[in-house]
Amino acid sequence: ADDPHPTAGAGAMEAYASQWLQFLIRWIHVIAGIAWIGASFYFIWLDKSLNPPQRAADVDEGVGGEVWAIHGGGFYRAQKFRTAPRALPQQLHWFKWEAYATWWSGLALFAVSSSPPSRGRCRRSTPGARCPSAT
């Protein structure tokens, strides 16, 4: 008897791989989104916790507020400038990669999960739907 679905084995393997790819991208998207939201909440907290600068030299340099914090045994002093400082440091950390990773992984997840079904297999959009038989 001839197999009416000659690519059923390959289609099943492709579907399996596709599900794992979607799973991986979905978790990258979730973790990047948590990092992005966490960084946003950190800066909201930071803005609300700023105190006026204590040193007159900081005010002269354009510092509008500062906060001292401790984490993991280390002491941190964050300063917010009213406008851009006269000179930027050589290394400047940008909190942008969390947002980029969230957007790019979301687009990848959309592309992978909305791609048309491959030949030899059928996607069921509703539970109980039947795939047409190949002829």
Position 135 scores a pLDDT of 47
- pLDDT, average across residues 93-107: 94
Q: Does 99 have pLDDT greater than 80?
A: yes
C-beta of residue 95 within 8 angstroms of C-beta of residue 106: no
C-beta of residue 85 within 8 angstroms of C-beta of residue 8: no
Angle in degrees, CA 9, 12, 127, rounded to 5: 135
Q: Does 10 have pLDDT greater than 80?
A: no
pLDDT band at residue 55 using 50, 70 and 90 as cut-offs? very high
Q: How many CB atoms lie within 10 A of CB 81?
A: 13
Angle in degrees, CA 117, 123, 124, rounded to 5: 160
Q: Does 4 have pLDDT greater than 80?
A: no
Position 122 scores a pLDDT of 58
Lowest mean pLDDT across 33-42, 59-68, 76-85, 126-135? 126-135
